[in-house]
Each structure stands twice: as structure tokens, then as C-alpha cells.
Amino acid sequence: MTLNNWAVNRWKTLPDLTQPFLVCDDTIRTYEQVGLEIERIHRLLKQHHIKSYQAIGLSSSSPCHFAVALLALLAWDLVVVPLNPKAPREEWQRQLKEAHCGVWLHDDKDQVVNSRWTLESEIKDAEEPWQDNFSGMILFTSGSTGHPKTVGLAQDQLWEQALTVKITHHLTEDSRGYSPLPLFHVNAPVIALFSTLLAGGTLILDPFNRQTFWHTVQKQDVNWINAVPTILTILSHQAHQLPINHSSHHASLRFIRSASAPLGHVLLERIEEQFGVPVIESYGMTEACGPITVNSGPWPQRGPAGSVGRPKNIMVRLINSEVWIKGGPVIRPHLPMNAWALSEMTGGWYHTGDLGHFDEDGYLYLDGRVKDVIKRGGESIFPREVEEILYKDKHVQECVVVGRPHPVLGEEPVAYIVSSDPGIEEALRALSAQHLSPYKRPVAYHFVETLPKNATGKIQRRMLVKEGQHA
């Protein structure tokens, strides 16, 4: 361990180790208990001669076990490759090979309270470590536009972004967050776990369950939630099913945070009206080590609806309407696992592939992805603009607009709708006619039970585009 390790130094300065740190399945782990578990994992690492800067895979079906082990491995100055516990072993082995990782730490799935860790070193053809003096995490992009790529994020980037989250959201030792998101992506570790440690607060890690969600919020006195649009959509559409006055379910709640995918101002305002707390939307990506902008106004209020906020700790500029970013937390192309990013950078500015615009107060609005823009007869159609109109119908639970081939126009927009009422097509056509120019209106509406998503809840548009090519 190095003397400047963020995790180690923070542990040394915690004022009260008896404070609850992690809560999962009604089991409370204090900072002291987590510290002891970290020491146990360190003894295992020492026993197996695991040295600093070595790459190591991590998987656990228990969020709390996963969180504790992640902190332990980072405190040992390792390169952690978080794995999806629900993925098949073949996917783990493929990702570990791509991350030059020959060691894998996992626990016994049947051990709910006390984790029993095992180290395996059977990954064949694992290459040599990327480079000395690098510790942090190797993650994989969500793959919404193609094959996932490796993204190496150094410890100083991870903790710097976590500190930004702590400051932006005014997290303290009294903060009790609830993050039902997976820990094998950048969001939950940086936004929830690391920021909570820096604040000395408490974090509830129960996985999302629509039946027990508000019971958990109420029982654990949650005062902030780390969510994604998929979860918020589900909660919004079942709000009327709450057995008692909904305000009693979250009397302690101060705000809800939404990230990982666009939320849209229609859904945002609907949720705020239903639950009576501000929804703070943010914009980020793995290549930025988490948040780029946060839509926070004078605390605890949010900024304008529909905006993803102002830049936080990262510089943002628009080049031909594309969002470019630069700063300490942004992907470092000199690291070998990030070499692919060189082709997507100009003068240190990373091209995000997102389209947007600023208002006069410096708030950023996202208009879609460069690759998602539909070209119809020479006109550009931004899917998000059309989707926002369709969301005005409260029967629309989820929707996505993609382009399908047209022999003359090139492409034409089609909509995929998730709704409890499949008889709303005429109403949606009327909405489109009222609010959209003729060339922007979907030519077809497909009603489906679900939309394809990845593990973070991000809609996989390219799968629908492929489907539309054969429609």
C-alpha cells in the first residue's frame, strides 16, 4: 500500500468507527466491521503473494461483499476489474483476458452475512500487467454503440470525482443514501460508495425491488437516492399503488439523483410532483470517471427541467454541437488500456459522441447521440425531441425512436413503445401532429413489452435499429 492511498488515508481520519457504513438485507456493517473485513482480505492477498499494481478480477452476488472487497483491493493498490456476478463464466474469462488479468477474487454465493473469499489464478493466456505504478479500476464501456472497450481509471481520478459528488450534494456523516445499482460499472462505486466513505455517511445497497423499494426507503431513513431512469419510470407508474399516503414513505428524503441515461423533463416533473422531492439529473460516462455535469441549483433545488446541469470538475465545450470534455477525471490515453481513445481526442479534448447545447446561464441540454441522429431526406431528426413529445401521454411507460432504412429518403423514424394501453397509437399520432414538423413524426409505432437494455438500464438502440432494418 502506498502512503497516499485515498482509501487508507480516509479510514485513518474517520471520527467514529462505530457509525453504520453499509446496509444490505437488513444487516448493518459499521466502519469498524468493514475495516476488519478489509484486513481479512489483505491477509488473503498477502498469503497468495499478490503485489501492488497487479490486476485482479472481482465478483460477488452480495452488494455489500462486493463493496467491501472493492475497497480492500484499492487499498492494496491493485487494478480492480469488477465483473457482473450474473454473467456467465465465459464472459468473465474474456473480460479478464482483455484486462490482462490472471487472478480472480470471488466469494461463496451461499454466505450471506460473513463472506468467504476465494482467489483463483486459472485464467489462461492472461498477459503481463499493463504497467507499474497504476492502480485503480479497469471498466468496460456499456457498449451501446458497439463492442465494449477497456477504460482504465486511476485511483486519483476515482476519488477526485467522488469528492466532487460529496461536495455537490452536500453529503455528510448524517447522509443515508440508497443505491440499488450494480457496482461493476462506474456509477455506483464513484457516486455512492466512495462519496459516502469520504462523507463518513451510511449507504444502503439493497438491489432494486419495485415491491419493497419504498419500504426500504422508509425503514432505513434514506435521505438521498442514486437511481437511473429505468427505476424512476417503474416507480412513477406504480405510484398510485402505494398502500398509504406516499409522503410517509419518504419523509426523510431530500433528493433523488438520476444518471446513466437521459431522463427527460416530462418524466422528471411527473416524478417530482408524485414524490415531492427534487430530481437532480446528471450527465456522465465511464470515460469521465462518472459525472460531467450536474443539474443542481441553489441547494437543495435543481436547475431547469430538461437540463443535465453545469460542468463539475470537468471542462465542457461544444464543437459542431458535439460535447467535448477535458480535465483530470477524463480518460488518459497514455495508459496502454486506453490507447484506443487517442483517435477520439483532439488536443486533450475527448469527443463524447453526444450532441447538446447550452442556455444563456451555462446549463447543458443533451439533444442525442451523433450516431443516433436520423437523416430523412436531408433533414436531421433528433430522437430525444420526438421521445419527449410521446412521453406527454401518461400511458407511455418507455419509448425510443430510431431510424429504419427508406429507399428514397434514406431513413424514416419509427417508435417503439412500452405501455399498459396499446390502444393509444392514434393519441400518439395526434400528439406528434400537434407538436412536431411532418418529417419528424414517426411513421410507425411498435408496441412491445420491454425495450432492450444493458446492465445499467441504458436502452440499446442499435438492437432496435437492426430490428427495424428487417421490419
The fold adopted by the segment(s) 166-368 is Rossmann fold (3.40.50)
* Residue 271, pLDDT score: 92
Q: Answer for the pair 392, 266: CB distance below 8 angstroms, yes or no.
A: yes
Q: Answer for the pair 161, 289: CB distance below 8 angstroms, yes or no.
A: yes
**% of the chain at pLDDT higher than 70:** 91
**Looking at residue 179, what DSSP letter applies?**
-
**Looking at residue 394, what DSSP letter applies?**
T
- A 10 A CB-CB count for 397 gives 18
* Residue 12, pLDDT score: 80
**Beta-carbon contacts of residue 404 (< 8 Å; ≥ 6 apart):** 411, 412, 414, 465, 468, 469, 471
Render 27-38 in DSSP notation, one character per residue: EEEEHHHHHHHH
* Residue 92, pLDDT score: 86
Per-domain boundaries in the chain: 6-140, 166-368, 373-469
Q: What is the CATH number of domain 6-140?
A: 3.40.50.980
Task: Using alpha carbons, select from 275, 59, 291, 277 the residue that is nearest to residue 168.
Answer: 291
The CA angle 226-230-232, to the nearest 5 degrees, is 60
Predicted TM-score of the model (pTM)? 0.88
The CA angle 140-288-282, to the nearest 5 degrees, is 105
**Is residue 114 exposed (0-12), middle (13-18) or buried (19+ Cβ within 10 Å)?**
exposed
φ/ψ of 358, rounded to 5, equals -100, 150
Q: How does strand 103-107 pair with strand 117-120?
A: antiparallel
Ranges of the chain whose pLDDT falls below 50 = 1, 3, 112, 143-145, 244, 470
- Cα–Cα distance for residue pair 258/277, rounded to 1 Å: 13
φ/ψ of 314, rounded to 5, equals -140, 140
- Cα–Cα distance for residue pair 202/183, rounded to 1 Å: 16
Beta-strand ranges (E) seen in 49-113 are 55-59, 79-82, 103-107
- Cα–Cα distance for residue pair 35/420, rounded to 1 Å: 48
**Beta-carbon contacts of residue 210 (< 8 Å; ≥ 6 apart):** 234, 235, 238
6-140 and 166-368 in the same fold: yes
> How confident is the model over 300-350, as pLDDT tens digits?
789 999 999 999 999 999 999 999 999 999 999 999 999 999 999 999 999
Cis ω on the peptide bond leading into residue 300 (within 30° of 0)?
yes
Q: Which residues pair with 79 in a beta bridge?
A: 55, 136
- Cα–Cα distance for residue pair 424/372, rounded to 1 Å: 25
> How confident is the model over 113-165, as pLDDT tens digits?
566 899 988 665 555 666 668 999 999 885 444 567 899 999 999 999 999 99
Q: Which CATH superfamily is domain 373-469 in?
A: ANL, C-terminal domain (3.30.300.30)
